[in-house]
Amino acid sequence: MKQQNKASRNYRRASAKVLSRALIVAAGLGATLACSSESDTEAEAALPAESSEAIRTYGEIVHASYADSLDAAKDMDAAIESFLDDPSEDTLAAAKRSWLTAREPYLQTEVYRFYDGPIDNPDDGPEGMINAWPLDEAYIDYTLDDPSSGIINDPDVEISAESLMSLNEQGGEKNIATGFHAIEFLLWGQDQSDDGPGNRSYTDYVVADGDGHAERRALYLRTVSGLLVEHLQGLVDEWKDGEDNYRADFEKLEPKLALGRIFTGMINLSGFETGGERLQAALDSGSQEDEHSCFSDNTHRDMIQDIQGILNVWQGRYVRADRDEVEGVSLESIVREVDAALADEIDDQIHESLDLANDLETPFDQEIAPENEAGNERVSKLVTSLHKVDGALEEAFDKLGLEVMNME
């Protein structure tokens, strides 16, 4: 079953990449690929006049949410530094809280993926360094089954930003060395509990009481936290207004191409990534090893905030960490001008998915346990709803005059 699930995940990842590239090409060359019928030409000409303003609003939301993610990551970095300076139950608890807080805005940014933008550009996009998963714990540190495993326990392996970046996913996709989930594991440790998160002791970072590698463990945690801040800073810079950067180029695109990229992110995150990679794969295996944030038992928040990110883009509205709002022309208004009934359907479906995500019971690993029929049903309903979201978004993509590739 494990091998089948892994093969299924790999297939979905490949499919999502093919889809996103196909949508981008189709959006840019719609008249050529869709066919040259008069009705298609009229559809492209009918793109609502405020489309450029909706694209502008998107850029504002992207920048604001990445800026919030950066600020939260800096706060987490400071909390981790305080913990490492004085390891204790209290300082470890504070570092864990800061990690949970930092996840909230970042998860809302995942809707900006899947179109080879700054986050997942195939040449230098940092997504794999920020949020890659699932993570093989033994690649980083000791486990219950192997107390001497991992980079931390191998003194021949250098611990530096450069070395850890080079080691990320080296030799296998589960060999994750950096990012949120590496930090999560270093703070919580393995999750051995049925009804709670991991329970790593602060003494793992105390030289006198640790396992002999406390100093390397502290250096590792400090290094990956700093890398996360660095990578998020790069994304903020690429989306800052008025700079010679990705955002400037993005806003110069033909509206049909820019909108194509925006919709590509929404479609892929709802169906393939959240509905498939993160929910269906975990439900199929019934194993906590396949849940997204397994060490902290924070997976339910991953689902909620990913869907919130889709809703942000749809509504053209983002509530910042300080409660200020970024708001402008929405995709909803653009679609509504073309097909009001479809706009209502998309809006209702996204809200339904958000409600179903909020209905998940914690911890998530018990929702997917094979014997938990009610929990399985809750997860299954969310999967179904998310696939309806991506189907309705595909229809909107088509209604706006862009070619949509079949999801299967």
Taking only the tens place, the pLDDT of each residue in 143-154 is: 999 999 999 999
User: Contact, 167 vs 177, CB < 8 A?
Assistant: yes
> Helix 255-267 and helix 51-85: axis angle, to 10°?
50
Q: What is the mean pLDDT of the chain?
A: 88
Task: Place 219 in a pLDDT band, splitting at 50, 70 and 90.
Answer: very high
With b for 16 or more beta-carbon neighbours within 10 A and e for fewer, the 34-63 pattern comes to beeeeebeebbeebbebbbbbbbbbbbbbb
Percent of the chain whose predicted confidence (pLDDT) is above 90: 82
Q: Which residue ranges make up each domain of the chain?
A: 2-399
DSSP 268: I
Domain 2-399, classified CATH 1.20.1420.20, yes or no:
yes
Rounded Cα–Cα distance for residues 357 and 275 (Å): 11
Q: What are the helix (H) ranges across 108-213?
A: 127-130, 137-140, 161-167, 180-188
Rounded Cα–Cα distance for residues 331 and 227 (Å): 34
User: Contact, 315 vs 330, CB < 8 A?
Assistant: yes
pLDDT of residue 289: 80
Task: Place 13 in a pLDDT band, splitting at 50, 70 and 90.
Answer: very low
Contacts of 226 (CB under 8 A, 6+ apart): 77, 161
- Poorest-confidence range of 70-74, 131-135, 180-184, 401-405? 401-405
Which residue did the predictor score with more confidence, 24 or 31?
24
Has residue 11 got a pLDDT over 90?
A: no
Taking only the tens place, the pLDDT of each residue in 84-129 is: 999 999 999 999 999 999 999 999 999 999 999 999 999 999 999 9
Taking only the tens place, the pLDDT of each residue in 354-408 is: 999 999 999 999 999 999 999 999 999 999 999 999 999 999 999 998 653 333 3
User: Contact, 49 vs 333, CB < 8 A?
Assistant: no
Q: Residue 281 corresponds to which tokens in the numbers above?
A: 């794969």
Rounded Cα–Cα distance for residues 372 and 357 (Å): 17
Task: Place 159 in a pLDDT band, splitting at 50, 70 and 90.
Answer: very high
Whose CA is closest to 327, among 342, 309, 341, 313? 313
Rounded Cα–Cα distance for residues 168 and 384 (Å): 33
pLDDT of residue 28: 39
Rounded Cα–Cα distance for residues 214 and 368 (Å): 35
SS3 content of the chain, % helix, strand, coil (to 5): 65, 0, 35
Q: Residue 135: left (phi > 0), alpha (psi -120 to 50), or beta?
A: beta
Residue 319's H or E segment, with its range, is: strand 317-319
